[in-house]
Chains A and B, each alone.
Chain A
């Protein structure tokens, strides 16, 4: 049985990676340079992408808060509508008459306080 190297020697399409040789020939300085380069590249990519990611997250958060704010405003409007409806004068008068026993003042029940003089244009 021939070795894998022997069997593939005549076929240039097949590349045999000889890791031992690669590592054997690699100096420590070069290796460190590779590591620093890769680290810098990753850091750079991270620095570039981080604000974008953060912006995206903030955008989602903002949208969520906007929806929440709109919901609260809707609730406020609905409550004000209810308040306005409950303050309708026909309802107030009905309650004043039926529940509080109030009545429209008659002529004898109205008290006037005389002024010494009233100018024509005085309002």
Chain B
């Protein structure tokens, strides 16, 4: 009996246990139903979030090269330091050390690390050595992510052209801004699975959005020519204690801009250390009254229309001419001048008299034909059109003033383009800074520019060139002469209009010189503009010598044949002459046979030199070379 009751009790217990299990099973079943059926989508998405991760792969910004493939702007990977304040454990000593490396105060850093956020940047794009120092501190909760940083290895060189980028690698200025769509690239979005250790499982990789690497940009700018132009411009601006300056070097046939130099300059690696005014490209964005350099437009118009002859004589009114109540003066008082002399001596009165032979509408047409009043479409942001008023707005003195480069505003790039038209035989070309876009070393897109259009005849261009040569040989531009070359050019000295005074300033000038060489077969056209020089302010004293220095170095660098000569080299302290003329196309080695051995070595050493060894050093050069 006792045994039966024990079994019944056990059975009862088992039944209760079975019931409990059933309840438990039912609960589990219901939960399963809830998870698997009702909340399936929501929970599966949540679980995917834990092992799937979308990676945003930032594209590397393309490189900017000069015309010879030298890197002017490059991107490299650097670390950016972040902290997870909720996980960061840091001692006071470590805080002090980290604050010292970061260049901040320990209190400020501590406050940052007390933030309730999960992620804060401590230093974006940190220099590699600093990153190493921070890693050595071994602070929990700090981490680094790779980001691309833009560097400009040539520092201030062509800074205004290149521009710069922001923290997130977006183009903010210059070419970086203008060609951002090409050079910036597109980020990719990739979905990857992570394993338990957080490692990417490559096999599961799925591309959500196909990105693209930034394309490279190939410029027409030549690093060496740009350097020469910047160096000589900086020297002149410093000597003249000027407000600034511009120098442009351009191929007159193609419109390729070889150099576009500005002073003062800035370092785009640390652009925030400079005032925004320095970032400006004055060569294309600042319009100014050009003064005498504009006289070639008047000259071109009267010659093209047959209203003047080069050797025709004009009376220069002994230095003073009154037009509609306004007096015009020459620097020197002249009586009778030929048309050639009017330009070579830069007579305002002679030029006004030539200009008065034109109807205002005709003068206006020539001005516009030469590209003034329109953007040149150089391919840089912020280009100005200049100011060319319609003839209806001209006063009684406008034609006279405009003839000599007043009452009109032009940009330096417009002016040099007009001179290029004369230099190349009458075609107005489109100045271009960028040659094209490259991908993996191949040019995939070119920017050839607008087609050239004829503005004056070949004959008129030839006459103007012959007159401009006289400017440099016997006229106001003698200081622009380049030994061994025929140079054609024009000086300009213009008073600046003072907006505060509402009148022309008596002390602020713009000195300029625009010219090209070799005059009969021009390879380069160069503009030099010095803004507000102190002391000497004439274009002939300030800008023309700078032109000469730039031109002579560019000639050697570009191996431009001199006047009926082949420029070979420079040799130190020698008065030896080469015997007999070389034949056209003759091998240089044959020419060298007629030169003594010592000189030959130096010539070989110094082919196309910008610099040569001094006398003492030359001897050691020879010794080293012989011994090797």
Do A and B bind? yes
Nearest-CB residue, chain A, relative to B606: A105
Interface 9-mer from A17-25, A31-39, A42-50, A80-88? A80-88
Q: Does A77 contact B77, Cβ atoms closer than 8 Å?
A: yes
Q: How far is the CB of A15 from chain B (nearest CB, A)?
A: 14
Pick from B18, B76, B567: contact of A81, CB below 8 A: B76
- Whether the pair A109, B570 counts as a contact (CB closer than 8 A) is yes
* B612/A102 in contact, CB under 8 A: yes
Q: Which of B76, B573, B584, B614 contacts A115 (CB 8 A)?
A: B584
Residues of A within 8 A of B565 (CB): 112-115, 118
A117 and B584 contacting across the interface, CB-CB below 8 Å: yes
Which residues of B are found within 8 Å of A110, using beta-carbon distances?
483-484, 556, 567, 569-570
In A49-102, the 8 Å CB interface with B consists of 55-56, 58-60, 62-63, 70, 74, 77-78, 80-81, 84-85, 87-90, 93, 96-97, 100-102
Task: Check if A105 sits within 8 Å of B521, measured CB to CB.
Answer: no
Q: How far is the CA of A111 from the CA of B575 in the complex (A)?
A: 9
A105 and B74 contacting across the interface, CB-CB below 8 Å: no
**Chain A residues near B571 (CB, 8 Å)?**
105, 109, 111
CA distance A59 to B201 in the complex (A): 6
Q: A123–B74 contact, CB under 8 A?
A: no
Q: Is B581 an interface residue (CB 8 A)?
A: yes
Q: How far is the CB of A80 from chain B (nearest CB, A)?
A: 7
User: What A residues does B567 contact at CB under 8 A?
Assistant: 110, 112
1/0 contact string of B515-543 vs chain A (CB within 8 Å):
00000110100000000000000000000
Which of A112, A117, A122 is close to B484, meaning CB atoms less than 8 Å apart? A112
CA distance A85 to B153 in the complex (A): 4
B361 within 8 A of A: no
Interface size (A, Cβ < 8 Å)?
Answer: 47
212-240 of chain B: CB within 8 A of chain A? 223-224, 227, 231
CB of A103 within 8 A of chain B? yes
Cβ of A107 within 8 Å of any chain B Cβ, yes or no, is yes
A122 with B561, Cβ < 8 A, contacts A56-B203, A104-B610 known: yes
B602-614 vs A, Cβ < 8 Å mask (1 yes, 0 no): 0100100111111
* CB-based contact B564/A114 at 8 Å: yes
Task: Scan A1-15; emit 1 where CB is below 8 A from any B CB, else 0.
Answer: 000000000110100
Contact for B562 among A58, A109, A112, CB less than 8 A: A112
Complex formed: what's the CA distance from A115 to B569 in Å?
15
Q: Which residues of A contact B227 (CB under 8 A)?
A: 89-90
Q: Chain A nearest CB: distance from B117 CB in Å?
A: 28
CA A103 to CA B610, docked complex, whole Å: 9
The answer, yes or no, to whether B439 is at the interface (CB within 8 Å) is: no
Instruction: Say yes or no for A27: interface residue by CB 8 A criterion.
Output: no
Question: Could you tell me the distance in whole angstroms from the C-beta of A99 to the nearest C-beta in chain B?
Answer: 10
B157 at the interface (CB under 8 A from A): yes
Contact B582 A114 (CB under 8 A): yes
| B330 within 8 A of partner (CB) | no
For residue B591, CB closer than 8 A to chain A, the reply is: yes
**Of B18, B75, B572, B578, which is within 8 A of A114 by CB?**
B578
| Interface 1/0 per residue, B566-606 and A, CB below 8 Å | 11111111111010011110000001000000010001001
Residues of A within 8 A of B453 (CB): none
Interchain CB contact (< 8 A) of A101 among B14, B71, B568, B616: B616
Assembly CA distance A122 to B521 (angstroms) = 9
Do B76 and A77 touch (CB < 8 A)? yes
Q: Is the CB of A84 within 8 A of B154?
A: yes
CB atoms of A111 and B578 under 8 A apart: yes
Chain B residue contacts of A97, Cβ below 8 A: 611
Across the interface, name the chain A residue whose C-beta is closest to B200. A63
CB nearest to B561 among chain A residues? A118
- How far, in angstroms, from A122 to B565 measured CA to CA in the complex? 12
Encode B379-395 as 1/0 by CB contact (under 8 A) with A. Answer: 00000000000000000
B566 contact from A81, A89, A107, A113, Cβ within 8 A: A113
- Asked whether A121 is an interface residue with its Cβ less than 8 Å from the other chain, the reply is yes
Known: A111-B603, A112-B567, A115-B582. A88 touches B591 (CB 8 A): no
Looking at the assembled complex, report how far the CB atom of A64 sits from the nearest CB atom of chain B, in whole angstroms: 9
A84 touches B578 (CB 8 A): no
Kindly state the separation between the CA atoms of A55 and B204 in the bound complex, as whole angstroms. Answer: 10
Q: Are B521 and A88 closer than 8 Å at their CB atoms? A: no
Q: Which residues of B contact A84 (CB under 8 A)?
A: 70-71, 74, 153-154
**Which residues of A sit under 8 angstroms from B484, Cβ to Cβ?**
110, 112
Whether the pair A74, B582 counts as a contact (CB closer than 8 A) is no
Interface flag for B617 (CB, 8 Å): yes
Tell me if A111 and B583 are in contact (CB < 8 A): no
Report whether B611 and A102 are in contact in the complex, using a CB–CB cutoff of 8 Å. yes
CB contact under 8 A between A102 and B617, given known A60-B202, A63-B200: yes
Of the residues A10, A96, A107, A111, contact of B611 by C-beta under 8 Å: A96
Q: Hey, which chain A residues are within 8 Å of B564, CB to CB?
A: 114-115, 117-118
CB interface residues, B 26-51, toward A, < 8 Å: none
Indicate if B199 sits at the interface (CB-CB under 8 A). Answer: yes
Contacts of B611 in A (CB 8 A): 93, 96-97, 102-105
Q: Which residues of A are interface residues toward B (Cβ below 8 A)?
A: 10-11, 13, 55-56, 58-60, 62-63, 70, 74, 77-78, 80-81, 84-85, 87-90, 93, 96-97, 100-105, 107-118, 120-123
CB pairs A–B below 8 angstroms (12 shown): A10-B7, A60-B202, A81-B71, A81-B151, A84-B153, A90-B227, A105-B611, A110-B570, A112-B568, A113-B568, A115-B584, A116-B583
Nearest 9 pairs of A and B residues by beta carbon? A59-B202, A105-B570, A84-B153, A85-B153, A112-B565, A89-B227, A101-B617, A114-B581, A102-B611
